[in-house]
Structure 1
């Protein structure tokens, strides 16, 4: 904003020591008198001071809310007490933005394109943090905006910028001749801003042709362009034409070629008019492709050349040893990451490129300025309006006065995100002085009080609907409270739970839950009602152990008359008292769809006869999984290897409850088989009765098809369920193999597999089977 010179006209004859009788505000259209008076140091009854009035005028200007401030003094009552008159021109406070004349775009569309909020209360005043964005001018402006509580102040330059941006939106969407005007409808304290739009004529793109491209396909180059041609399958019938957008697209294509080693490329375009449509012809002169001769590195005293380059150059050699900007940037990023791993956050890399046009070669010199190790001075947290600071600080793996290691910073971000309370978490090192920096933790909280309604499906529970009310980050403490109701044709699961984080101010979680579950199997129904209590503790960064107990009332009913003898023996009610222990090591990068890391789980549960318990058994399970991403060819393929081993036995003359046995085969074990049919079956009824022992392995390859949302998969499962270890012969093992798709939706993941058996078994003679799972992955 261009500020006018201050004007201060003070009449003679008033002593500096006189008492001010009145302060009068004039000329303000938008900002109330009371707010302006609140910014002044001079008050009614205070001592008149020329210097203080000058400071107040400068202060008003610094807020950026006034284009003019003039001060006058009068003594109308001739009593020696001056009246101070402030004449100002203020900027409008906008409480609402409206659009008129927009037929092609809705108000919401324009709001999204412009990146603005249009209603009162949608715009939040951005807080500042001492030492970063704070300054007297900013603080004074924020103070005014907080007091107004009506919206935001817009300068006329900002309003004009919005007006031009609306015209640009129309221009980029193919409209020519669009004109936009605005009007202010003022009120005392706030105003409504109305943009009046006179829409122009729309021009369409009829076709895009690309000529001269030999190394890259039309599809590849068109994918770089924002301008699009008609596509009936994407319901894109009349895509807009904008020459400004076309010019930017030509630059993108040219930049893409240069980044791929075509340093002499020339890209031009031609536009042909076809009535209201335009045909676009993009002409490419690729020229020669330059090779990458060498990359030299200087200034590295802490890492060897091979450590900094890794296998990046080898990959490039396999692709033809061409000069690619991507290769250079990967090496520069790796250099910064390697140094950040040992706390050198201020390491920088200077690049010098030498091009040899005769030999068509490029040499690159990377000069490293190593700097010094960085330590954390303070950790500042921003954006936690609900969460208490300590909830975030206890997840930090880098603390104040410690070396700022990259691994600790990244792990801190992962742990905070995994709490599930935030939409986004950023941890930014902020330079302060010398080797002492601050860490700024910026979080964007999500609404943690969730009311969810949805569906789930698998072959055991069938189709089930659920309603869940869950409050994460309860009262800002990180605790979790929830209640859920699930009903389906074969399934019922109602539960209430509470997790107390850092129980007794220790790194221990207390989990309490009460539940009522019912599952209808083919030949029987089992119901379990009770409650459980568990304590879990993080042993180290990736290891966690939990121990707990559950008290349940169990009922086996609806026994089919043709059911196996083992099932019939389960009929009736009994009491269950279980003690369980779990040990977990989890280094996965994302629990829903891991791309790297591993998972190890050891489970042990014991049914005991204490307090009237009728079930007596001990059960052990070990599960492991390892995930790999293709870093050799960078195809995005994910390989997962998984294995399970388990056994369960009864004691004290008691048999193992049937729903504690292992049912191998089905959606979550060996695909291609029905539930339980890769294990023992009753010889008379051919119904699965579960196994006392299990061994399961699985290999799966997933290939990303679309933006980490759609994957194709191939898999092979192999294993067996049996009652004796001697039955685990290779000739008895069952396998399943096939293909499938994985769909990651905002509501729930979806898995569809078509699996084939390696051998048919009695009771399950189909060669293949479709597996559909909604709500969780294998």
Structure 2
């Protein structure tokens, strides 16, 4: 066959091998070449194109008139044209001295339409599919997008959603893509069971994992949605739980989820092997570094002989030893724990070996998956940066910090080789989660006969803990009841001036009406700086300013001496001297080792504050307050938690006499079973309590799951006993100023509701004074520490 002979190009096998054909056939053929001579054409003619310019297609073909070409060149041209994704069919033929390129263009998507969707928004579905307006349409893309929409519904717990796709031909090679969706019902998790667990009950383990059984409130919590990723995370949560409680041999044998398509519900089963429970045996440190004495590092050890084995304690020790040695100038120091099990005594000896690690540097830190969170918000949690020595312990510490931010569902940190043998890339993969919250809360307390305060109260707030992806916290709240109104705005920048210093401010306004006798209006602001000392210890300094205005109302406004007014002279004097201005500075020390802020079981939460008022204004005092709450697991298998709390406060005048409203007043944090401002020094009228300059409080509580109540509802019970005393008052005419103890006992319901933690308390005073005012029932936001 001569150069002028006809060449027909493209076999369907070639297109298929290139992965370019989804459906239909490609009418592209190759004619055999009888001659080894290369072909030459005088012109290239393009046919069938509507949108793609002919010149562009000729460039893709890569053959020029007058240029020698072979069947291999034709094959390559076909591959190139298919590779553009613009054409559903390509045919190349030689007709005389002309090379004819015929193409069928893919249709262009005019619009993507979703029909029948209510539970998943259009914007979320549009982000999941690859077909977009002005993109090219193909059946393969449509099929893939149908599956993507199904997966989007699976992620919100609707496994039986059905999705179909079709196109609407608009003419001129343009189409609309329509996804028709039947959402179906929510796919429930009817049961979460465990096999092989003896040390802990199913209920206790269900509280550890994030996959929850469906219940009446699941539509609010959304924690009964099954996913493979959540199941893998639950496996790791179970491992950490057991490893931190002495079960070093624990393993998850299997985890499975069976879908009953007829009932549209899952049954999740974890099969585990607990093994024996170990305690720490001998603890030692070995060092091969010159100038590092192993004995001098004993104070950094967090593991103690005889204590229950805990993986967290081992990790804490590794971090503490590494930081200490690195601080001494050994940048590449590596701490490796070696465990030696004694199966007879059920102990694990741990030796921490300190060696010189490989000299490896961080060439680059790459962050992936943070569509909203700024890169610098993640980078600042690392104590290392590009060019620094690589240390795995420092990297793990940064991971723990990122986890504590609560901005991400998952955080994974890995390394890949860098451009040089002694360099690595640090890869940080994150999956973001919603960080905004809208909450509505309610409270109730018995209405006080003396003050008129109490009754039902409502509160709503909007907060964002990763504002604009900058890691800033902002909260706006408003609330009130029959006789009160509260408004506040808070803002916190956790890294002020690029340093690990939290700076923020609070602005608030409060109004109160007291039994139609008088009212108060307080406006204030606080500017604060917080400095972390350790991961558990934080210090904060703040400047506080407030302005309080008091006014007589009702019968007291008309005639304060009227017997129906019955207002104490001390209160009347304070009201007539308002407005009061307080200008103060305060310093607070916070120690927090709580394991879970939402549902604590172990740890200590304590605060100590000193406030000095006298920087201008009317108040002149020094106020000291402190409170500590210790949580400890009493019965691990039954999930019974003990809580012991103590608190105290004392105020000392530094200039003029204390104002009435500077004194301490009791509330439900101090003691339950009594009205707010219902104990302590009292006015001569026997009704108005004036507060005291000193208080001491203590509380003991046991929290436990309620029988027959699903753990996924987040409801627990508690019994408690409180004791407190409030005494000391230098205001003239105050009675009952001596130290007298009050005590109460009661029961509570604790609910981790979708609107925040809620607490219901019923208390009965068992020790009280004749002038005390009793309040049995109270419920509101749970803030016991």
Relative to the length of structure 2, the TM-score reads 0.60
* Inter-partner Cα distance in structure 2 for 1:669 and 1:507: 34
1:228-273 deviation per Cα after TM superposition (whole angstroms, max 9, x unaligned): xxx99999xxxxxxxxxxxxxxxxxxxxxxx9x9xxxxxxxxxxxx
1:337-367 deviation per Cα after TM superposition (whole angstroms, max 9, x unaligned): 98799889999999xxx9xxxxxxxxxxxxx
1:182-261 alignment, distance < 5 Å: 184-187=166-169, 192=177
Q: What is the match of residue 740 of structure 1?
A: 748
Unaligned runs of 5+ in 1: 100-106, 110-116, 127-143, 200-207, 224-230, 236-258, 262-275, 278-288, 316-329, 355-367
1:31-430 alignment, distance < 5 Å: 70=90, 72=92, 84-86=101-103, 95-96=112-113, 119=122, 122-124=125-127, 154=140, 158=144, 184-187=166-169, 192=177, 378-396=364-382, 399=385, 401=388, 403-405=391-393, 408-417=397-406, 422=407, 424-430=409-415
Q: Are the counterparts in 2 of residues 93 and 153 from structure 1 also a CA contact under 8 Å?
A: no
* Inter-partner Cα distance in structure 1 for 2:605 and 2:58: 60
CA RMSD of aligned residues (A): 6.5
Q: Are the counterparts in 2 of residues 556 and 570 from structure 1 also a CA contact under 8 Å?
A: no
* Inter-partner Cα distance in structure 2 for 1:652 and 1:577: 13
- 1:579 has 2:574 as partner: no
Q: Post-superposition shift, 1:511?
A: 3.3
* Inter-partner Cα distance in structure 1 for 2:65 and 2:697: 86
Q: Among 525, 539, 552, which residue is 1:557 paired with?
A: 552
State the secondary structure of the residue aligned to 2:682.
coil
Q: Post-superposition shift, 1:702?
A: 1.8
* Inter-partner Cα distance in structure 1 for 2:425 and 2:486: 51
1:534-587 deviation per Cα after TM superposition (whole angstroms, max 9, x unaligned): 130314243132221315243253467213232222113224031121323243
- 1:667 has 2:676 as partner: no
Q: Are the counterparts in 2 of residues 670 and 696 from structure 1 also a CA contact under 8 Å?
A: yes
Q: Are residues 685 and 636 of structure 1, via their aligned partners in 2, closer, same or farther at CA, if it must alter by over 3 Å?
A: same
Q: What is the match of residue 657 of structure 1?
A: 660
Q: What is the match of residue 693 of structure 1?
A: 694
Q: Among 644, 647, 656, which residue is 1:641 paired with?
A: 644
- 1:438 has 2:440 as partner: no
Q: What is the match of residue 607 of structure 1?
A: 613
Q: Are the counterparts in 1 of residues 81 and 87 from structure 2 also a CA contact under 8 Å?
A: no
Q: Are the counterparts in 2 of residues 497 and 511 from structure 1 also a CA contact under 8 Å?
A: yes
Q: What is the match of residue 286 of structure 1?
A: none
Unaligned runs of 5+ in 2: 1-12, 19-27, 185-190, 207-213, 219-246, 250-261, 264-272, 288-300, 323-332, 344-351, 447-452, 557-563
* Inter-partner Cα distance in structure 1 for 2:656 and 2:149: 84
1:752-773 deviation per Cα after TM superposition (whole angstroms, max 9, x unaligned): 112222313213476x712212
Q: Are the counterparts in 2 of residues 94 and 154 from structure 1 also a CA contact under 8 Å?
A: no
Greater displacement, 535-544 / 738-747: 535-544
1:60-107 deviation per Cα after TM superposition (whole angstroms, max 9, x unaligned): 7779x79976452557995xxx564445789999935667xxxxxxx6
1:118-145 deviation per Cα after TM superposition (whole angstroms, max 9, x unaligned): 846524369xxxxxxxxxxxxxxxxx86
- 1:489 has 2:479 as partner: no
Q: Among 10, 14, 31, which residue is 2:40 paired with?
A: 14
* Inter-partner Cα distance in structure 2 for 1:425 and 1:181: 30
1:348-406 deviation per Cα after TM superposition (whole angstroms, max 9, x unaligned): 999xxx9xxxxxxxxxxxxx999978976544333433433223333445655352327
* Inter-partner Cα distance in structure 2 for 1:626 and 1:499: 25
* Inter-partner Cα distance in structure 2 for 1:587 and 1:707: 26
Q: Are the counterparts in 2 of residues 600 and 624 from structure 1 also a CA contact under 8 Å?
A: yes
The structure showing larger relative contact order (alpha-carbon pairs under 8 Å, at least 6 residues apart) is 2
* Inter-partner Cα distance in structure 2 for 1:757 and 1:748: 28
Q: What is the match of residue 238 of structure 1?
A: none
State the secondary structure of the residue aligned to 1:630.
strand
1:173-217 deviation per Cα after TM superposition (whole angstroms, max 9, x unaligned): 9x9xx9x996633545665466799x9xxxxxxxx9xxxx9x99x
State the secondary structure of the residue aligned to 1:570.
helix
Q: Are the counterparts in 1 of residues 762 and 776 from structure 2 also a CA contact under 8 Å?
A: yes
* Inter-partner Cα distance in structure 1 for 2:656 and 2:353: 74
State the secondary structure of the residue aligned to 1:690.
coil
* Inter-partner Cα distance in structure 2 for 1:369 and 1:108: 58
